[in-house]
Amino acid sequence: MSANLKTETVLTQAGHYIGRETGSIVPPIQPSTTFARNEKGELYSSDHMYARDQSVNSEMAESVLCELEGGASCKLFASGMAAATALVQTLRPGDRLVVPSIMYWSLRAWMISFCEDWGISLAFYDPTDEEDLEKIVNEAPTKMLWVESPANPTWEIVDIEKAAKIAHSAGAQLVTDSTVSTPLLTKPLELGADFVFHSATKYINGHSDVVAGALITAKEDTRWEKVCSIRAQQGGILGPFESWLLLRGMRTMHLRVERACENAIAIAQHFENFSGVLQVLYPGLTSHPNHETAVRQMRGGFGGMLSIRFNGGKEKTAHIMGRLKHFVRATSLGGVESLVEHRALIEGDGTLVPDDLLRFSIGIENVADLIQDIEKAIQA
Ligand code: PLP
């Protein structure tokens, strides 16, 4: 792709494809599982032999994501979990992994059981306490530090530049889960992170019709070689159709994310001091404890995710959720349509999420409609 293009152009043109045979401007879906050799037994393309690890459609989407994040290489996976777990699986018995106590709960639960099974030491830092990360990393030799920013579902912001310095001076590598920040609002590799992870199921796809994960590396080091080998051997690649849909979704990511950010801050500000609301959690509000870090670290908006805590506890909160007409009650986030979820009920026993909290994924609808929907549900 040509150098120095602005993000909007990179995304909209998504590789500037023009088919050599017909001049088609949309790339075809390439479903072939295997690739032929010529009379001498040589492959037509040295990059394509077998589709468990090589997909023309994935490569197109990977090159756009790699450029957006400013990385050395990008790999797509069959889900966000497949991508994140591939990176953690590069750790060896005896290594130490440091992760936030507040993060995507399924990944946290998997890390606990994986680390226990494989003799990897797992330590948690409190992302609400700015000093805790450094303290925990330095308590013992650490190989990998995990940051999720904003952190699901209370949207703490971790200072990535500071975390990278702490990780590197401890001899560790920094991974950032940038799913909620999208590849547009924060650039973790520029801030010193070694790897960026996205559940591409969310904003990158943006239409709630593809499950996918992406890893981007700052450099192609030995850990990256292991990641590539895990994907190649375990076959967690994204299928051609899903890769094609992902690329199509990415063409409008900048517009979707911009609108979601505008809608989210308008909703956050509207309900911050609203009767019946205990607290609005959104990094764009000056009342948010990490607002200053968010301003420094996020460009062009504070994301489309926010949570609202309501007066009246669990029952009242569940009742408000039940009365919403336009927010779809569903898990996930980052699609064009607005979703709502009572996270504590979904996460169940052992959840750290307050039971008076609703998590909202703000979509790109008319913001007045969304505000009116929440107002009516609170007032009913
Ligand atoms: N990270 C975050 C922040 C998420 O919200 C999710 C999914 O909800 C994941 C990771 C896992 O991604 P996937 O569902 O694509 O496997």
Is the pLDDT at 2 greater than 80, yes or no?
Answer: no
CB atoms near residue 357 (< 10 Å) = 21
Residue 152 CA, closest ligand 1 atom number: 3
User: For ligand 1, atom 12, which residue shows the shortest CA distance?
Assistant: 80
Are 252 and 117 a contacting pair, CB within 8 Å? no
Q: Ligand 1 pocket by C-beta < 6 Å: which residues?
A: 79-81, 104, 107, 148, 152, 177, 179-180, 199, 201, 211, 213, 332
Q: What is the pLDDT of residues 130-162, one digit of tens each?
A: 899 999 999 999 999 999 999 999 999 999 999
User: For ligand 1, atom 2, which residue shows the shortest CA distance?
Assistant: 104
What is the best residue among 106, 149, 181, 245 to mutate for testing ligand 1's pocket, by most ligand atoms within 8 Å of CB? 106
Give the span between the Cα atoms of 332 and 375, in whole angstroms: 23
The bridge status of strand 328-329 relative to strand 121-125 is unpaired
Helix (H, G, I), strand (E, B) or coil at 279: strand
| pLDDT, averaged across the chain | 96
If you ran DSSP here, which 8-state letter would residue 63 be given? H
Give which of 199, 145, 139 is closest to 174, Cα–Cα: 145
81 CA → ligand 1 middle, Å: 6
In order of 244, 261, 299, the CA distances from 251 in angstroms are 11, 18, 19
Structural domains in the chain, CATH included, are 2-250 (3.40.640.10), 254-379 (3.90.1150.10)
pTM of the model: 0.96
Please tell me the predicted confidence (pLDDT) of residue 47: 86
Q: Which stretch of DSSP H or E encloses residue 197?
A: strand 195-199
Is the pLDDT at 220 greater than 70, yes or no?
Answer: yes
Q: What is the pLDDT of residues 155-187, one digit of tens each?
A: 999 999 999 999 999 999 999 999 999 999 999
Give the residue, 347 or 206, on which the prediction is more confident.
Answer: 206
User: For ligand 1, atom 15, which residue shows the shortest CA distance?
Assistant: 80
pLDDT band at 46 (very low <50, low <70, confident <90, very high): confident
Q: Which stretch of DSSP H or E encloses residue 342?
A: none
